[in-house]
């Protein structure tokens, strides 16, 4: 593994508490590998067996759910440093019911999930730490999905927007905050039409509820909560 990536991995939640040299040895023991993808390529298709988790070394990945009518919904948007595929790799059924698509050119480090949660014959201390980190990571992902349900369960588009922005503002703890989604991705995440989203944001700004410049928002409504 390239030294630059090892330094990057050491900072990620999955490898917290594991030394750089131990990460390198562990990746070799697990049989990890790196693949590059171009924007628009598919990493895992819905219905495909998933036995590896992916760690985004660079770029971004979208988790997309498509219904029987072909309508696509953005479930999650993941950027550099995030992990995907663990929900399906850790279950009894390995078939994914979502598609993982490349949003921006990326490099992905793949790790076989079975080998992650089962210690090797060496019973390395750092491998046990990896298992603990993996459990915490899955718990964190479940919280993200709960947030998604909280947002999309709102009745109106305005309520969905405010709920999503409020969550982002609280996470960043700043009066001005950036969201990771562009307008198209945000519309998909909110299960809304892009034009309707643009109109609603403009209306909310004119009413003094919020202000924004591209992906930087100032949620004025936050002061009243």
So where are the chain's domains?
Answer: 3-148, 157-224
Q: What is the pTM of this model?
A: 0.73
pLDDT for res 94: 60
- DSSP state string for the chain: --HHHHHHHHTSGGGTT--HHHHHHHHHHHT-EEEEE-TT-EEE-TT-B--EEEEEEEEEEEEEEE-TT--EEEEEEEETT-EESHHHHTSS--B-SSEEEEEEEEEEEEEEHHHHHS--TT--HHHHHHHHHHHHHHHHHHHHHHHHHHHHTSSSHHHHHHHHHHHHHHHHTSSEEE-S--HHHHHHHTT--HHHHHHHHHHHHHTTSEEEETTEEEEGGGGG-
What tens digit of pLDDT does each residue of 106-140 get?
Answer: 999 999 988 888 766 655 778 888 888 988 888 88
Q: Which CATH number fits domain 3-148: 1.10.40.60, 2.60.120.10, 3.90.950.20, 2.60.40.10?
A: 2.60.120.10
d(CA 100, CA 88): 12
Tell me if domain 3-148 and domain 157-224 are identical in fold.
no
pLDDT for res 144: 84
Q: Which regions in the chain score pLDDT beneath 50?
A: 225
Q: Which CATH number fits domain 157-224: 2.60.120.10, 1.10.10.10, 3.40.50.300, 2.40.50.110?
A: 1.10.10.10
pLDDT for res 38: 97
């Amino acid at each position: 593994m390239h030294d630059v990536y090892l330094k990057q991995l050491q900072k990620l939640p999955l490898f917290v508490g594991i030394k750089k040299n131990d990460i390198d040895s562990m990746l070799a023991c697990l049989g990890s590998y790196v693949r590059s993808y171009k924007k628009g390529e598919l990493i895992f298709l819905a219905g495909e067996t998933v036995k590896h988790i992916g760690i985004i070394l660079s770029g971004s990945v979208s988790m997309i759910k498509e219904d029987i009518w072909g309508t696509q919904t953005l479930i999650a948007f993941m950027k550099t440093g995030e992990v995907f595929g663990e929900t399906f790799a850790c279950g009894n059924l390995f078939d994914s019911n979502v598609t993982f698509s490349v949003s921006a050119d990326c490099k992905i480090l793949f790790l076989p999930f079975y080998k992650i949660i089962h210690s090797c014959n060496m019973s390395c201390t750092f491998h046990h730490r990896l298992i603990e980190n993996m459990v915490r990571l899955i718990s964190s992902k479940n919280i993200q999905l709960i947030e998604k349900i909280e947002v999309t369960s709102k009745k109106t588009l305005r309520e969905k927007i405010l709920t999503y922005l409020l969550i982002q503002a609280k996470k960043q703890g700043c009066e001005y905050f950036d969201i990771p989604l562009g307008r198209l991705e945000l519309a998909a995440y909110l299960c809304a039409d892009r034009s309707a989203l643009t109109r609603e944001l403009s209306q909310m700004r004119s009413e003094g509820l919020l202000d924004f410049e591209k992906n930087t928002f100032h949620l004025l409504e936050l002061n009243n909560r």
